[in-house]
Chain A
């Protein structure tokens, strides 16, 4: 089955006339995703690399039947683009844009519950891929293989690293979800874990966290109380000094509770398999899947 994106994904790209938007629209189409067109208020009616361009998300949805949108709009207009997709009734909105002001995301998060049929992934995220089915985002498709591991991560490159390690051991993924490295994002770990729990293709999950915030711990609480599938976790940033922002806007340990070490401890105490060495994510996953009662 996989989660969030699959063969039924019908994608439009907001910001398709920008360099990033267009090159990734092509890459997603090349991967096999049904990219039905794009949105650019400036250039409606044009065709660009075979993609029809629409004036608005509402128009694009009416013309194409799109259910998913990938946003590549620059930071100043990205929150507006998210809201436009929400208003148009897009079911899955993946915002790749990095650098959206936190204040704009406060407003988006304030209205998000008004659109219960929509889900927001990101911003500042690599997107979602269900290998062999569809990719909505900027991850390199070639490193992925179809398999039974679900991955959820704040970081893009660390997710690719995990995928590469799994691939070297002959393992693949059901779906990989990059929820984004910003201070405020849409879907969090817990919501993605709940989807993996209900997915018949996912046998185990790798959660990749980092310093800052408490969402990994909230997710672990969900694993402890509700989840039947095994979850392994790595939390990046053991070497991160307190109060310093480590690349991601959200990767800042504000207090000792949000440091990598104390998060790993909290995850361990809630029954997750905690991976201490990021170079061994693949091995631990392989071991976990072999020893998981769910497969017996």
Chain B
């Protein structure tokens, strides 16, 4: 789960880490008042979950209250495209106003989990700010943190020296890392990134930006963090799907895919790609999908206006093909009598059932006679992917 910058800073504040004064503005007037409060000079920051905002021009300095107000107006509602949002961009729905500070030097600092060593890794660089992604690997110093010890004084001292921090600053640096580590472990973070971490002209060390992601698997023990969830960030289908225990990832093709299991779902998209097809989505029904979940999954696909063809690839292990077929049948029946405006058109379905109750599943689907959704069957993944890719090509020519 990702959260906004202003929320991340709120959390840092709660753990005793000093952050710049800031407030979420609720109107242009509020932005102006906030600017007054912070002495006129502020930074106006669009809040979206993706990074790269600075380069996209949505973190800007305002020298007066009027400038703050007009930047607020400009940012709010704007569709922001950064290198992390993809071509669709993300709509700005919140604008954060922060005091402007005089910066002497910027650093990069992050905590994340190192897969190879199964440790929390601290990454730091003297090249902070928006250019850090272009910086070479060699520009980063990395320290693996032993979970029994936490960040040790000697390793942080060595790190501070390698970053070129002067001695007065090193103690502050160690104190901050200890607190960040506490945030990371107490909140079950998967990423905590401070970029830039700024050394101010007045000597203070302050996080100017902060990005936090939480480990979804650990959210069950952090009900206090759920309030930070912003369901409007990300595709609405993705949130809808998550309520049913499904994983949905929006892609940019035209073949709607419904598959059981993450690996098989990814492989199905890959097989389509090799046959000239492109997927509109990744959809994993998971290990034990119910009829309800399948119905929901299928509805998400048929309500997607980009979808020209639907590919169902189910290899029943624990999942039963007949349960999947029943869910699909319900969704189709619902669509034909739906009050919502289903684009009334032609959406061929290619279904491949194998394993647990494959025959029963196929019989259930064969019983469906619906002009909008003609169904064809395939025995193998090869045949299914080929049929679906061909059908999408044919639909494209219609």
Contact = CB atoms under 8 A, between A and B. Distances in A.
A103 B145 CA distance: 13
Contacts of B185: 103
Given A138-B317, A157-B315, A277 B274 contact: yes
Contacts of B269: 238-240
A239 B216 contact: no
Nearest to B186: A103
Interface string B174-209: 000000000001001010000000000000000000
Given A139-B317, A249-B216, A106 B263 contact: no
A181 B266 CA distance: 13
B18 interface: no
Interface stretch (A2-10, A33-41, A43-51, A148-156): A148-156
A151 to B, nearest CB: 12
A53 interface: no
A140 B316 contact: yes
A161 B267 contact: yes
Interface stretch (A57-65, A210-218, A266-274): A210-218
B264 interface: yes
B97 interface: no
Interface stretch (B21-29, B61-69, B225-233, B279-287): B279-287
B116 A156 contact: no
B263 A208 contact: yes
Nearest to A142: B355
A113 to B, nearest CB: 11
B221 A76 contact: yes
B223 interface: no
A88 interface: no
Nearest to B383: A279
B229 to A, nearest CB: 16
Interface residues on A, range: 35 or more
B312 to A, nearest CB: 14
Contacts of B261: 155-158, 160, 247
B262 A102 contact: no
Contacts of A103: 185, 188, 215, 218
A99 B220 CA distance: 10
A244 B265 CA distance: 14
Given A107-B147, A161-B264, A239-B269, A98 B385 contact: no
A109 B118 contact: yes
A143 B355 contact: yes
B217 interface: yes
Contact of A237 (B216, B266, B272): B266
Interface residues on B, range: 35 or more
B271 A247 contact: no
Nearest to B386: A279
B113 interface: yes
B141 interface: no
A164 B218 contact: no
Contact of A76 (B84, B220, B286, B380): B220
A251 B262 contact: yes
A70 B261 CA distance: 21
Interface string A232-265: 0010111111011111111100000000100000
Contacts of A240: 266, 269, 282
Given A106-B119, A140-B355, A236 B316 contact: no
Given A110-B147, A161-B315, A279 B263 contact: no
A12 interface: no
A103 B184 CA distance: 10
Interface of B: 84, 86, 113, 115-116, 118-120, 146-148, 185, 188, 190, 215-218, 220-221, 247, 249, 251, 259-274, 278-279, 282, 284, 286-287, 315-318, 354-356, 380-382, 385
The 9 closest A-B pairs by CB, nearest first: A155-B263, A157-B261, A247-B262, A158-B263, A101-B218, A109-B118, A279-B382, A278-B267, A157-B264
